[in-house]
Amino acid sequence: MASAAGIKTRICMISDTHTTSPYPPLSKNHVYRNPLPKADVLLHAGDLTKVGYRTEHEETVSMLKAADAELKLVIAGNHDITLDEEHFLRAGYKRHRKTEYFGSKDIPLKKDEASRLAAIRDGTTPPTSEMQTYVRDIIDLYTNESAYAAGIRYLDEGIHTFTLSTGAKFTVYASPYQPEFFGWAFAYPRNQDRFNPPTPRLQSPHATKPGILDWVGRDGDRRVGCEHLLRASERARPRLYVFGHIHEGWGAVRGTYNMYADRGIKQEKVPTDPEEMLENRGAYYDVSSGSNRPLKFGDETLFVNASIVDIAYQPINAPWIVDIDLPRG
């Protein structure tokens, strides 16, 4: 639906699926079940797999192909170690010495994967050319003609622009990177600012606190997001800011930029209803111009932690489905 504010567009957001497929359609006690909610755009914000085996990626690609969306945007995460070629060749392959990561021992490996795993567990480093071929074949799963025809677009770090058949045109800044975390993929030092222009003012890496849906710890007493990325959001002020990684942080926040608020953003948690989410297979939120409370572009950002699995890696969380106005192409 077009309006003076733009074209109403439905975006379905998931993250941190870790090779967990949606439950069958009749499993109505589970909100994450087939079919995924129909949308114009499906966005997977990372951690597609548990530990990056090709068989895991094949399962994820099959799930994406089956989804009813014109465009399916995919970003890697730190568990997707085979999508970070430099990391995998340098150290990531060692993750495959054990198959016990989060249930990955139950993953049926193909013959070449089983052979590579056996060599790694024996302490042998597979030849670089062999590992390069392996990881590039995995990336090809997301970029080949079959994936493209299904609407899948694999996003490297950077700016990407798309136009939907409705005429809505939008720009996405994507990044699989996060502050270093126990030697997983796509990592950078916490004191590195890769999201903002350099400034003459030197900042301590802990001068400001991160803090949108990123609480961890037994009592939820620590924030572990990236303060530099949060500053970039305040600078760019996007309509939508989608992320995952912190499973226990699932939810959405309507943020209003206010220099006097904590971390410069007044946060309002988006309410959800468990029964409605079960019925609708997702958490719906309408901020389009036709809603009771349209999003004020430039003043507000909708922050969404779309992690599907919980801290125990069980797929109990709901996809987020947001109706929002996007500019005309």
pTM of the model: 0.91
Q: How many CB atoms lie within 10 A of CB 80?
A: 28
Q: How many CA atoms lie within 13 A of 253 on its CB side?
A: 17
Length reported for the chain: 329
Q: How many CB atoms lie within 10 A of CB 125?
A: 12
Q: According to the model, what pLDDT value does residue 202 have?
A: 46
- Residue-wise pLDDT for 25-41, tens only, equals 999 999 999 999 999 99
For the chain, what is the radius of gyration of the CA atoms? 20
Q: According to the model, what pLDDT value does residue 221 have?
A: 62
* Residue at 188: amino acid letter: Y
d(CA 317, CA 283): 9
Q: According to the model, what pLDDT value does residue 219 have?
A: 57
Q: Which CATH architecture group holds 2-326? A: 4-Layer Sandwich (3.60)
In 127-239, where does DSSP find H-type helix?
A: 128-143, 145-149, 227-236
Q: Low-confidence residues of the chain, pLDDT below 70?
A: 1-4, 97-108, 199-210, 217-221
Q: How many CB atoms lie within 10 A of CB 274?
A: 10
Phi-psi region of 62 (alpha: psi -120 to 50; beta: other; left: phi over 0): alpha
> Is the preceding peptide bond at 35 cis, omega within 30 degrees of 0?
yes
Give buried/exposed letters for 194-227 (b at 16+ CB in 10 A, else e). ebeeeeeeeeeeeeeebbbbbbbeeeeeebbbbb
